[in-house]
Structures are given as C-alpha cells and as structure tokens.
Homo-oligomer: A and B are copies of this chain.
C-alpha cells in the first residue's frame, strides 16, 4: 500500500518540493487592480505587440516562464518538465510557448483549475525523484476567451451581473527538489462534481460545489481544520461562488469566515472596475498565486496556504447539447517552513 496517501484523495509528500521562483504577467486591466504592485510585468496593451490575442497569450506564458527562470538563475535546459495548459481549444497558448521554450511538455486541461493541477503533478514528479526542476504554468486572456466561448467583442454584448471577467495573465512557478521553500506538503486531487447548474453566465455557482467537495475531503483526509491554515484561497469562484462555498462549508462543519478569500475576488476592485461577479480564468489563480500569495509566503506574512483552483469543464458544444456544467477543484497545501 502506498505510504504517501492520506484518506481517499490526498497525498502527503515525503520530500516536499520547494517553489524556488515564480513569474507573473498581467494585462492592463489587472494592472490597475488592487494587486498591481505584486506582478512582475504589466502589459501596456493586451496584444503584447503581436497581431492576434492568441499569440499574445502564448507569449505571456513564454515570458512568465523566462522571468521565473531568470529569478532562479536557471536555463530552460535545466527544466525536466513543463506542466501546463490553458483555456484555448487544443491548448494552443501552452503548446506554442513550449515549442519556443524547448522544454518537454505534459499538456494539461483543468480549465481554471489548471494551476493547482500543474502544481500537483509537478510536485509528484519532484517528490517521486523523476526530476530536479519542473515548471508549472497556465494562462488566460479576456479577449481570446470571449471570442472562443461567448461573442465577438465587437458586438458589445451586455454582460450579466453573475458573469465573471476572464483574467488576462500568465503565471509560472519553478519547483525544485532542493531549496528553502515555500514547500508543497500535500495535494488533494478533485473529482468532477456536477450539481446540475447549466447557466453559463454563472460559473461561480457551478464551481462552488467542486471547491467544497475538495476542501472538505482535504480536511477529512488530513485531519486538519480551517484554523490550521493562515489563508484558504479558492481559484476563481468570484463573489457569488465564494459566498455559496463558504455557506456550504459551514453546513459541513467547516467555518472559514476568518481566513478565506478567492483569487477572483482579490484581483479586481469590482466597484470601480465593472467586473461584476469577479475575475476568472486559469490565469486568475495563476497570477494571484505566483504574483501575490507566493510573496506573502516568502516574506512569511502567511506561513500556510491552501490554494484551491477551480475549473468549470464545459464546452460550447456541451452547453449547446443541453448538458449541465461539471466542475473540478484541486487543492495544494503550501507552507513557508517545513521541519
């Protein structure tokens, strides 16, 4: 029997990987939000000097990886694997970036849960002694997501108040078998959860039950409770979804009112920036983690973090065929110190 498993869905690492550096790039709107001082690069315009938004998104990944490599004084050739994915069909942002970076790629799709999926698999590859350095990365882009999933931006469609705003941004984190932390100590891998919600303009509500399922399972598997974390942060439930998740967890016996927030809530000033229910997209938890939360851990302003990126696993085809919205959430437990 595996000695590293706790309960049904959790792994406790024996040699916890160290997150030795990160890189974060955001678009102009994110660069005017409350976390603006934490990002490595804020773009002046969201086309990143290229002729399509898709190419810009791919360049964001490539440059975020390069920033993280530079901070760690590593070359791309030092990295054994890139674990990454994005929201675009067939992961074109990630695959074109991996082509230029020349790093072996494990392509992932977890929609907006991709950052913690990548951190989970990356941490396994380090703890399992398959690699010395790996990179976890993901991205999203408001304009590429709008035209793939919704309407041409030129139409100027009105947005529902429950809708979220896809974050333009890319984050990369380098995991290492050596280093001084922060350390990934546990992962809890989510199941696909579907409460039957089919409103594609209310992703937060669709994803909240998946976040609740994974967080509850994490506490049951580990024997930990909300007070064991300085901060518990979901990926991109937004204002509506995070309120639902908080309430559902109270009913399950887990009160997180004091130390809980959501990346989609933190990244924008929703009153000023007109982002309705909050930020979303794989890039949301990617840049909030690699830009903001990672630095809180490094500076020991927080010592323990449970990061729970959340993904809505629908496609335009599944929605048109009347399917509800399945969702998934993966949790990663990170501490600034490890004994």
Contact = CB atoms under 8 A, between A and B. Distances in A.
A95 B193 CA distance: 10
A180 B313 CA distance: 37
B2 A92 contact: no
Contacts of A120: 106
Interface in A1-37: 1-5, 9, 11
A325 to B, nearest CB: 10
Interface stretch (A122-130, A257-265, A285-293): A122-130
Contacts of A102: 191-192
Interface stretch (A107-115, A162-170, A242-250, A273-281): A107-115
B128 A129 contact: yes
Interface stretch (A64-72, A231-239, A295-303, A316-324): A316-324
A315 B89 contact: yes
B4 A192 contact: no
A61 interface: no
Interface stretch (A41-49, A80-88, A135-143, A197-205): A80-88
A105 interface: yes
A317 B109 contact: no
Give the 9 A-B residue pairs with the shortest CB-CB distance, closest first.
A128-B128, A90-B315, A99-B192, A95-B313, A104-B189, A107-B109, A89-B315, A89-B89, A98-B192
